[in-house]
Structure formats: C-alpha cells, structure tokens
Amino acid sequence: MMRQQFTLPLLIALTLAALVATLAPGVAGSVAAAPAASQQSPSAAQASPPVNFPTVDPKYIYDQLFYMVTHFQRREAGYDNNQPVYVNGHDEFAAYWQAEMLRDLQGFGAQARHDPFKVAGWQGRPAVTDAFNVEVSVPGVTHPEQVVVIGCHYDGEASSTQSANDDGSGCAIELGVAKALATYWRANHVYPARTLRFVIYDAEEQGIFGSFHYVNQTVNGDLGNIVAMLNEEQNGIGYPLRFLGKMSNPLLSTTLMMTPLTNNQSYQNTQSFTAAQVQSVTAFRSLMQGDASASFAAFRQLGYGTLDYRNDQNQPVSQQIFTPQDVQYAPEADDNIGGSDNYPFALAGLPTATFIGNYSYYDQNPPPWSYPYDQPQDTIQLMNVFASGAETEARALDLSLALPGMLTTWALAQPAVLGFAPSDGKPLASIGDIATTRPGAPVTLDAAASFDPAQPGATLSYSWSFGDGAHATGVTTQHAWASTGDYPLTLTVSDASGSTTVTKTIHVTTSPVVITNPYQGFPQDGVPRANPAVTLPKPDHGPNSGGTPSVIPAPTQSAPPPGWLWAVVAALAIIALGAIGFGVSMARRPASGGGGAAAGPADAERQRREQAFRELLSPRAPDQRPPDGE
C-alpha cells in the first residue's frame, strides 16, 4: 500500500468534507437495509372465499421496486466494468435481483445463469464490457420439455437515474410473481407442470438486444418448445390510478398487448406464421380474454375493493375499484409498438402478452398524465406523485404495480400455459437452454435444474441419449449432430427415489431461425429528448395529499440535518484553523464502504439480506463477468 503525507489541517478538512457530504441531501450511493418480507393487508388476510390461483402481495412488489431503483441507479448496459454502485448500478441490480429470486423460489430447484453477449454501446461511446441477461429456471414436473418465459429488462438510458417505471417495475413484478407462485406451491404441495424461466434482459434501451440475443442464440434450438412469453413492461402508471389521485382525472389503463395475427406498423411478417403458430396464438389470445375478469375478482376477494381518491376540495373520496365494470381498463390489444422484449418472440410467431401501463409521453399531443419514461425524472418518487400527488408511498401505485403481477399469475395457473401438478415422488428432470443447432456445431447441454423434491440434497445421476447413437453422462455435456434432421434428445435423471426421463426433439438445420432486429441499424445516443408538451407535476406536501410514508429511505433524499450537527461542523472548523502548521505523517487508509443510515431494531432481517447480497459482489477484474449461477 502506498503511503501519503497528511497534515493535521488537511486531515481535518477532509473530515469536514466527509461530514458535510454525509449531511448534505441527495448523496448518491447511500445504503439502506434491504426490504423486509412484507405481509398482505389485514383485510386480505380475512378475505373469503380464498382465491384459487397464486396472488401477489402489492406491498412486496412496491418495496422491492423502491429498494432496487434507489440503490442501483444508472444501469447502463456495457459500461459497468466494476464501477462503484453509485456510478453504475447495473451489475449490482442484477446480482440483487438474482439473489432475491432464488430466495423466493427456494425449495423448487431454481437455478440461475448469466448469459453474456456483445453490445456496441451508445452512439459515439463504445461499450467497454459485455452486457448480460440473467435467467432463473424452475423445472416442470409433468412436461419439463415445454417452457414458459417471463421477461422484462433491467437496463436504463445513458441519462437515466432510477429507471423506476421503465423498467424497474417489471423486475419487481417478476419477483412478486415468483413469491406468489412459491407460496401457492408450498401451500398446495404442487409444482409447475412445465418449466418456467424468469429472465431480466439487458440492453433493451440500446435496441432490444438482450431478448433478440436470447431468441436468436440462447434458446434458438428450443423455440418450438416455448409455450408462451409474458413480458412485464413499464407498469405502475395504470389501473386503478388516477393522475394525482384526483377524482376529476380519468382512470388509467393497463393494457395486455398480444402477438398480432395481422400486419401493422411493427409487424410485417404475420402472413409467414405457420398454421400451428396461428392456432397457438389464437388459442392463447382467447384464453387471455378471461384474465382481467378473474384478476379483478381476486383483488376484491382479497379485500382490495375500495380506494381513496381526492375531490376538488382535496378531501378523500372512497371509490369502488376492481369492479366488473372496470375490466374495460385492462383491455387486450394487438401489439403495434414492437418496442419491448416480447418483440423477437412475437416476430417468431410465439404467443406473447405484454403488460404495460401509460406510454403516451412521446406523443405529439400527450395528455397531462403522460409519464416521462426513459427520462431522468423517472423515479419512484415521481410515480407516487402521479398516483396521489405526494412523493410518499401511494396505495394506488401499490395496486397498479400489483395488477400486472396478478394478470401473470392467473395466466400461469391455467393448465394450457404453465399449470401446476403434484410430484410423483421421483426426481424432476430438466434440460437447460438449447442454443442454435447446426450440423457439426457443438451444443452445450445441462441438467443443473434437475432435483428431487423429496430429497433436495440427494445425489443425482444423469444419462443422455442424443438420438444419433451417441450417449453421455454427467450434469453437463456437449454434443454435435453430424447432419441435418430431427433427433430425440433424451435425459434420464435418477436417484434412490427412482428415475425420470424427459425428451425434446432437436431440429438440426443449416438454416436456423433468425429474427431480424429492426433496431440493429439505428444506434441510440442514450439521451432521449424530453417532450416540451408535457409539464411534470410537483409534489403536494399538504396534509391531505394522500399516501403513507415510505418504509425504505431513498438514497436521493434526506431530511435537513439537525442544528446540533452543524454546531459540530463549526467546532471542527475552528480546530482546523487552530491546527495550521502542525504536521502529522500518517498512512493512507482505504475508503470505507459506508454511507448508510443506521438501521433500527425492526431492520435486522433487512440487514441480513443486504449482507447476503453483498457477499455475491466479490471484487472481480474489469473484464470478468459473474459466473453462471453466481
């Protein structure tokens, strides 16, 4: 370690600077404890009859969103080469999300992998490292060869701060869905019937590159086994929210955007869909027509049947919500945007549903409630202002974030989508992602998500048959098919409880499916222009502004320091002036990683979870990516 000479006045001056920085509001990178596990409202606990599908906890989703976007900001894909979290929170966001997802799905064999890929970066500013998707897989018990994908993106613009609505909200909703599913599975002693993959995609803002990479490479050899893709796009500014919480403003919508079957401005290839693809998309769209009604009914059964808005006198007015009449605010429509991670899946002719709230900000004549996604002002605080007029946690925002989650869990509960089934007492066999399959090209195969529900720690054996006379053993293997054709890939997983076999048909071809990314030739600069036609609201700090205090302090805000602390600063300044001329030599010490607020007794669990998260973030060289399953 290098040594540096410090004089006493300089040392005290540095101390003063550090103290002032600590006291100053808006210090980036301050750390609070991770959100504790939340519980549903008392009314939800007393609700009857019980809902017959997994139900999300609105508070859990809000808390996760608040925590992630206030702690891991400026999430630029391709630039986080081991930078401090307050400079670029990209990798730390991914690590936290992965850890929380695995925690939520504990006991169901969930396995995580990182999927790196090259990106060019912003226009005129080349990327310095790879981007990467994060995937967490849960094996299916009856049809593990079939796959359902739930996705969103976690990166932001170059000018972004929290990227709370777009798309921190989707990442939090995925966590809420996972927690709801696992809670339901445990209570009912069931497992997913098909394999379920939770994915957060990278570099969406640069050109939807993460999901195009996923479709064209990561799962290209397995596209025929994907049953559906559910996409959690920017949410929270939708039903049952009214702009500023005012009764005079209309209810906003949360839209279900589906794979179209006729061409539009974003889809010019629907005529090339096969008959089987058209049938699958049609059946999925028909099934999803019942989603909003069932989800609205579930909210009411759980006790979320009323919400306070404000009248012209700024007084609370209770209104019925999630009524059958309000189902119109969760409409189903063709995807005509083609600007999110469902896009490559839909272009490939697969059934998709994107859940999305307000997206009118860049319109020529935007309404007043147009939320500034992709702008630096996209923060959890502004989302609360849109919901209630105040920056504090708004119940309308909680429920608006929960609605896409409930729509998702209902869809997953349907036997034709994911479905649930009891275990037969044998191990669950699972084959991981299958990349592009060309003649002579080695393909890596893994069975890491296989596990025995009755004996989670049991040692498993793995036997592979590739359908061309070749065989292998082990949890991972590589194989190259010599010629084109369809081959039955078979995996048998065994332990003392018995054995389970899963088979997938592998289509080896010299012309694999390649979905052209229309954004590829249009590099972005990462600084979308603000719309001058939109005037953003200022928070209402009045006594009737609505909302409840946020349970997690935001790192970008702090209360003014008390007077006695300024007295300490003044005293230290006097000491510094009196110490001029007295030099002291001392070794330079490494900077502390602190800056966090002291946690109260109720935050012990949060501290534990943050420590667990920090253990995932061991220092690594700038050119290294987190290993698979980290």
Residue 21: is its pLDDT beyond 90? no
Mean pLDDT value across residues 519-523: 92
Residues 532-541, mean pLDDT to the nearest whole number: 92
User: Which residues touch 260 (CB under 8 Å, ≥6 apart)?
Assistant: 267, 270, 334, 335, 336, 346
The answer for 192, left when phi > 0, alpha when psi is -120 to 50, beta otherwise, is beta
In which band, very low, low, confident or very high, does the pLDDT at 294 lie, cut at 50, 70 and 90?
A: very high
pLDDT of 486 above 50: yes
d(CA 463, CA 474): 7
498 — pLDDT class (breaks 50, 70, 90): very high
Measured between alpha carbons, how far apart are the two ends of the chain, in Å? 30
What average pLDDT does this structure show over 135-156? 97
CA angle 135-137-142, nearest 5°? Answer: 155
C-alpha torsion sign, points 279, 282, 286, 291: positive
> What is the DSSP-derived secondary structure letter of residue 325?
G
* Amino acid in position 592: S
Q: Judge whether 57 and 38 are in contact, CB under 8 Å.
A: yes
pLDDT in tens, 228-269: 999 999 999 999 999 999 999 999 999 999 999 999 999 999
CB atoms within 10 A of CB 46: 9
* Mean confidence (pLDDT) of the chain: 84
Bridge-partner residues for 333, per DSSP? Answer: 257
Q: Could you give the strand order of the β-sheet that contains 498-508, starting from the edge strand earlier in sequence?
A: 471-473, 461-465, 485-495, 498-508
Q: Indicate the pLDDT class of residue 596, thresholds 50, 70 and 90.
A: very low
Residue 543: predicted pLDDT = 54
| Cβ atoms within 10 Å of 444's Cβ, excluding its own | 12
Q: What is the distance between the alpha carbons of residues 512 and 443, in angstroms, rounded to a whole number?
A: 14
Higher pLDDT, 10 or 273: 273
Which amino acid type is present at position 245? G
Query: Alpha-carbon distance 349 to 260, whole Å?
Result: 9
Give CA–CA dist 39/58, Å, rounded.
9
Quickly state the pLDDT bin for 457 (edges 50, 70, 90): confident
- What are the CB-based long-range contacts (under 8 Å, 24+) for 318-325? 319/247, 321/240, 321/399, 322/240, 322/296, 322/297, 323/296, 324/293, 324/296
Read off the pLDDT of residues 612-630 as tens digits, 9 standing for 90 and up: 333 443 332 323 333 333 3
CA–CA distance, 87 with 94 (Å, rounded to integer): 15
Phi, psi of 164 (to 5 degrees): -70, -50
User: Given the structure tokens 């290209």, which residue do they identify?
Assistant: 220
Domains detected in the chain = 42-291+327-421 (3.40.630.10), 443-508 (2.60.40.10)
Q: What is the pLDDT of residue 47?
A: 41
Euclidean distance between CA atoms 91 and 78, whole angstroms: 10
What is the structure's pLDDT at 49?
66
Average pLDDT for 113-121: 97
Band (38; pLDDT cuts 50, 70, 90): low
pTM, entire model:
0.82
pLDDT in tens, 65-89: 999 999 999 999 999 999 999 999 9
The pLDDT assigned to 51 comes to 86
Which residue blocks in 322-456 are alpha helix, DSSP H?
343-347, 380-388, 395-413
Residue range 203-224, pLDDT digits in tens: 999 999 999 999 999 999 999 9
